[in-house]
Chains A and B, each alone.
Chain A
Amino acid sequence: DAGVIQSPRHEVTEMGQEVTLRCKPISGHDYLFWYRQTMMRGLELLIYFNNNVPIDDSGMPEDRFSAKMPNASFSTLKIQPSEPRDSAVYFCASSSLGGLQDPEQFFGPGTRLTVL
Chain B
Amino acid sequence: DAKTTQPNSMESNEEEPVHLPCNHSTISGTDYIHWYRQLPSQGPEYVIHGLTSNVNNRMASLAIAEDRKSSTLILHRATLRDAAVYYCIPFSGGYNKLIFGAGTRLAVHP
Q: Which of B46, B91, B102 contacts A42 (CB 8 A)?
A: B102
Q: Which of A45, A103, A108 contacts B91 (CB 8 A)?
A: A103
- Mark the stretch among B6-14, B37-45, B64-72, B74-82 that contacts chain A: B37-45
Q: Which of B32, B45, B95 contacts A31 (CB 8 A)?
A: B95
Given contacts A42-B102, A43-B44, are A55 and B95 in contact (CB under 8 A)? yes
- Check if B43 sits within 8 Å of A109, measured CB to CB: yes
From DSSP, what is the main secondary structure of chain B's interface residues?
Answer: loop
Interface size on B, residues (CB 8 A): 25
- Check if A45 sits within 8 Å of B97, measured CB to CB: yes
- Mark the stretch among A12-20, A77-85, A94-102 that contacts chain B: A94-102
Given contacts A43-B44, A91-B43, A109-B43, are A103 and B98 in contact (CB under 8 A)? yes
- Check if A31 sits within 8 Å of B43, measured CB to CB: no
Q: Which of B46, B94, B101, B102 contacts A104 (CB 8 A)?
A: B46
Given contacts A45-B97, A103-B91, A105-B96, are A93 and B102 in contact (CB under 8 A)? no
Q: Does A57 contact B (CB under 8 A)?
A: no
- A-side residues, CB < 8 A to B, are 4, 31, 33, 35, 42-45, 48, 50, 55-56, 91, 93, 95, 97, 100-110
